Amino acid sequence: MNITALEVQPLTKAAFAPFGDVIETTGAELRLINGGTTERYHDLAKVEATGEQARVLINIFRGQAFTPPIDIRMLERHPLGSQAFYPLQNRPFLVVVGKDEGGKPGNPVAFLSQGSQGVNYHRNVWHHPLISLETTSDFLVVDRGGEGSNLEEYFWPDSVFRIERSSV
């Protein structure tokens, strides 16, 4: 079994752009609405939903906490829609993604959200399922519902990518 250490990097819009959108208020277009009593941070992510009877779903996911070291053995992707995660309790979480290499994910890349940032994985982007840190955490999740198979998983047969405590 080949084990490769993953370095965790800060989650920034530029670094994450090949995989999707960083959802945060910093640098967002601000509009005052409702007679000036509400700030609207406008158009933070591109929501995608394709296929027969496609529709956008809004969910709350409750993710159990992981404690490093964390082994990454698989990634998944959604060919028919994007998937967005936004933390509801301002807690950090890990984002692990990989570029597509001929229908399989390449070596994963890990990012740390500080808890005031969410992510929107573009359609067909390989990513690890939710990785909460510290404690069980709730996330607002926007993704696709409708007909068709919208989940592909890839398990590395002989490799593990490990996130050590010192990287988080």
> How many domains, in total, are found in the chain?
1
Percent of the chain with pLDDT over 90: 99
84, 19 in Cβ contact below 8 A? no
User: What CATH number is attached to the domain comprising 161?
Assistant: 2.60.120.480
pLDDT attached to residue 21: 98
Q: Is the pLDDT of residue 153 over 90?
A: yes
85 token code pair? 């995660």
Strands 8-10 and 109-113: parallel
- Summarised one tens digit per residue, pLDDT across range 60-99 is 999 999 999 999 999 999 999 999 999 999 999 999 999 9
CA distance 156 to 96: 15
Instruction: Identify the pLDDT of residue 106.
Output: 96
Give CA angle at 130 (125, 134), nearest 5°.
Answer: 145
State which residues form the domain around 77: 2-167
Amino acid at 103: G
With a threshold of 0.85, does the pTM exceed it?
yes
